[in-house]
Amino acid sequence: MKKISIIVPIYNEIDSINEIIEKINNTDFDSLEKEIILVDDASTDGSTDILKGMQDRYKIIFHTKNQGKGAALRTGFAAATGDITIIQDADLEYNPEDYIPLVKAIKKGNADVVYGSRLYNKDYEQNFLKTSLFANKFLTKMTNILFFANLTDMETCYKAFKSNILKEITIKSDRFDFEPEITAKILKKGIKIKEHPISYNGRQYEEGKKITWKDGLHAVLTLIKYRFSD
């Protein structure tokens, strides 16, 4: 494996875009060539203008209409050419250096899919909003029951894949229900998801956090839907 594609969905993250891209650039993903793909989901806060100034350095795709994180990831996956594909949110809740052991596990042939778990280490539970912590644990437990899995953090952003696996899966979710959909479809294919602990610094809603209780409800319905259908 020689190349990694890093997909960054962006919607109204003007305060963190430059810093997260710098962190990605400063991270050595096990000496793999980096392909950074930035997908702007029709931002309205000036993020688009910043990204337009980076088009000579990165692969940047602009949505003309806001569609949601899942839609932005579909766009990024379609443009990816790396042997490994990972997802990086445009905020600063996650540290790109935490991706290194996940990527190494795939590169060495020890796993096809690896999730970075924020709940593997209970010390990071204090960095969650209480409602988010409860929702994450509930949705993960539900995933384990429905799909006979043993995950600790299904909703994590940090997911690393062999790219050929993603090409075999059709993602239909447009919003945050991407997480349960991709997890359900991977598990139904009989692919074991490995986990590795990562750090987490959750945002407050006033700091730009976007996921809400409605997304939690959609996640429940998505898990049930893909347990009993394709």
pLDDT single digits (tens) 145-156? 999 999 999 999
Let me know the angle formed at the C-alpha of 196 by 125 and 17, rounded to the nearest 5 degrees.
Answer: 70
DSSP state of 120: S
Alpha-carbon torsion 180, 8, 118, 188, what sign?
A: positive
Alpha helix locations (H) across the chain? 17-26, 47-52, 69-79, 99-107, 130-147, 163-167, 178-188, 213-228
Question: Does 203 score more than 60 pLDDT?
Answer: no
| Over residues 65-91, mean pLDDT | 96
| Residue 216: predicted pLDDT | 78
Name the pTM for this structure. Answer: 0.90
Sequence-distant (6+) residues with CB within 8 A of 33 are 2, 3, 4, 82
Is residue 126 predicted with pLDDT exceeding 90? no
Find tokens 């990972």 and name the residue: 86
